């Protein structure tokens, strides 16, 4: 009897059929990977009912409205600003109060200057 090596039985496995969707899927990048200028534009990130992340950008109109109200740009008349007042009236009031209290006060704008030596 002659023994011949037998070929092992090949079991054919059926490959699962994978269907690839023709729709492209958009995967959001992490906020840490965005450029700083782009990341500053995102106000909030919400999750919809499908579990997708939806970034909400800052509204230019709302930001402009808030900035105008903060800087009072939409006012028709300029508000009385303290920086626009003259210092003449407060200095007169201060000098008068000093005279009434008997205090000698020098109201000039020379600060911390050494006195000149007498030669």
Does the pTM exceed 0.75? no
pLDDT (tens digit per residue) in 75-101: 666 556 666 667 788 888 888 999 999
What share of the chain in percent tops pLDDT 90?
4
Residue reference for tokens 């919400």:
46
């Amino acid at each position: 009897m002659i023994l011949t090596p037998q070929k092992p039985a090949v079991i054919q496995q059926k490959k699962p059929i994978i269907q690839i969707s023709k729709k492209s899927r958009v995967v959001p990048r992490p906020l840490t990977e965005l450029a700083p200028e782009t990341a500053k534009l995102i106000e909030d990130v919400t999750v919809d009912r499908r579990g997708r992340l939806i970034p909400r950008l800052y509204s230019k109109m709302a930001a402009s409205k808030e900035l105008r109200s903060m800087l009072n740009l939409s006012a028709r008349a300029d508000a009385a600003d303290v920086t626009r007042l003259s210092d003449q009236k407060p200095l007169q009031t201060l000098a008068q109060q000093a005279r009434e209290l008997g205090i000698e006060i020098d109201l000039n704008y020379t600060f911390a200057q050494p006195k000149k030596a007498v030669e």
